[in-house]
Amino acid sequence: MVTREGIPPQRRDWKRWGVGGATMLIALAVVLIVGRVVLGSKPEETLPPAPPTEAPVVQPLEIVAVDYPTPQPTRPPQQQVPVVIDWTRPTAAAAEIAAALDAPVMAAPESGTIQRKQDPLTIIPERSRSSVIIYTVKKGDNLGSIAERFGLDQSTIIWSNDRFYVNAMRVGLELNILPVDGVYHHVAEPQTITAIAESYQVDPFAIIDSEYNTLFGVTPETILPEGLWVVVPGGKGSTTPIYWDPGIVMTSDSSGSSGAVGAGITAAGEYAAFAVGDPGSCGKQPVVGGTPPVSPPIYARYRITQDFSWAHGGIDLSVPAGTDVFAAGGGTVIFSGWSTWGYGYTVVIAHGSTLSLYGHLNGAFVSCGQMVSAGQGIAVTGSSGRSSGPHLHFEVRGAGGAPDNPWNYMGF
């Protein structure tokens, strides 16, 4: 069959499909080419995925980069147990320190090496004072305890302060404390360094060269102005006996007869008073008769802790508190009670024109005006007043009130 175009139907269909297929193939190729250009070429081979990398830490502007620490795992809370250390630091006593410093050095062995002794005690050197200081007297202080505290002789404290006030020491009194033993001299009127040095038995250059004075460059003939205070290292002051004088009155009644009954003892017509105005004072008391204070005031065993001297007007007998105290002689009680002159509880007995004093007691058994006999119990010991510990301060005083050496009346 031939169509009107002159082409058989089969051929006409093939021709139609052939042109259309070619057109479709061309269009598909164009799409592939365009997709390849847009999407990019497919890699020839597939590579395994790259391992992840740690992203860099980007710091904010205006902040210095910091090396951040590596994070650590969180630790569970731990219970804090206090650590107890059984350790002590011993301190050497003063006697041990002195013994250690005084011990001779051991000779070197044949090896030539001296072995150091192992000693756990630490000796701390005492720091010296660089200048004169002012110390205020406190309750319980006395001349001896203050001197010991500052490593000085008692005489240095006496020579550096008013002698009267030192011996009448009361709470609140201010004392000059020197850095070394010697004298603290107050220039009362202009005088040369040589004159000062001669009065205290030292070389003038001991004063001039002392670091405690501002006298470098002067000469021994330099005149020091009035009012100046000068440290005299090694100086020695007066050793004239000093004592507490609380006001002792001993008078004779001219109307009465008197007769000597012993050395320095007047038997009749005497009146005596001790520290009138003090709480324990008995006022003016008649004194008839009396015997010298020649009996021991304590019969119990005791130890002498301070003897009689120009700076200490009595004898200190160390005994336990509560030890019986006895009258050293017969006489009249003229003081019984508290003394504001540092004695604490005190008893004073007038033996004619001689007195015996018993200080730092723990109360008294006798009363004002009472007549006592030698060996009679009058009190017990204590540590009242300016006392560093239980003891009896025993004095014997003459008619003028000055302390007399108790060794002149009895043995101890």
pLDDT by residue (tens digit) across 111-168?
Answer: 444 344 444 444 434 445 788 999 999 887 878 889 999 999 989 999 999 877 777 6
pLDDT on residue 27: 63
Given this model, what pLDDT does residue 393 score? 95
- Give the pLDDT confidence score for residue 100 in this predicted structure: 64
For the chain, the average pLDDT equals 76
pLDDT tens digit sequence for 226-247:
999 999 999 999 887 777 777 7
- The CATH number of the domain where 224 resides is what? 3.10.350.10
Q: What is the pLDDT of residue 216?
A: 86
Whether 403 and 261 map to the same domain: the answer is yes
Residues 226 and 314 in one domain: no
Reported as a pLDDT band with limits 50, 70 and 90, residue 362 is very high
Both 228 and 272 in a single domain?
Answer: no
Last residue of a domain, one of 174, 208, 233: 233
**Is there a domain that residue 273 lies in?**
yes
21-69 per-position pLDDT tens digit: 556 666 666 555 655 544 554 444 455 555 555 555 544 444 444 454 4
The rounded percent of the chain whose pLDDT value lies above 90 is: 45
Shared domain for 397 and 263, answered yes or no, is yes
In this prediction, residue 169 has a pLDDT band, given cuts at 50, 70 and 90, of: confident
Range of the domain at 341: 248-408
Residue 66 identity: V
Shared-domain flag, residues 175 and 304: no
User: Cβ(264)–Cβ(404) under 8 Å?
Assistant: no
Question: Does the residue 145 lie in any domain?
Answer: yes
Taking a C-beta distance cutoff of 8 angstroms, is the pair 398, 352 a contact?
no
Count up the domains in the chain and report the number: 2
Write the DSSP symbol of residue 270: E
Give a yes or no: residue 21 inside a domain: no
Tell me the one-letter amino acid at 151: G
- Note whether residue 51 is domain-resident: no
Higher pLDDT among residues 385 and 236, named by residue:
236
pLDDT tens per residue across span 250-262: 776 544 333 333 3
Does residue 317 sit in the same domain as residue 376?
yes
306 plus 212 within the same structural domain: no
Q: Does 137 share its domain with 183?
A: yes
262/227 same-domain check: no
Residue 375 predicted with pLDDT over 70: yes
Report yes or no on whether pTM surpasses 0.85.
no
Q: How far apart are CA 384 and CA 342, in angstroms?
A: 8
Question: What's the CATH code of the domain at 358?
Answer: 2.70.70.10
Give the pLDDT score at 73.
46
Between 274 and 120, name the one with better pLDDT. 274
Q: Please say if the pLDDT value at position 9 is more than 80.
A: no
Asked whether residue 397 is assigned to any structural domain, the reply reads yes
> DSSP assignment of 293-311, as one string?
S-S-S--S--EEEE--BTT
In whole angstroms, give the CA distance from residue 243 to residue 156.
16
Domain endpoint, select from 189, 207, 233: 233
* 308/386 same-domain check: yes
For 42, the token pair is 């497919």
Same domain assignment for residues 183 and 296: no
Residues 216 and 360 in one domain: no
Domain boundary pick from 210, 233, 256: 233
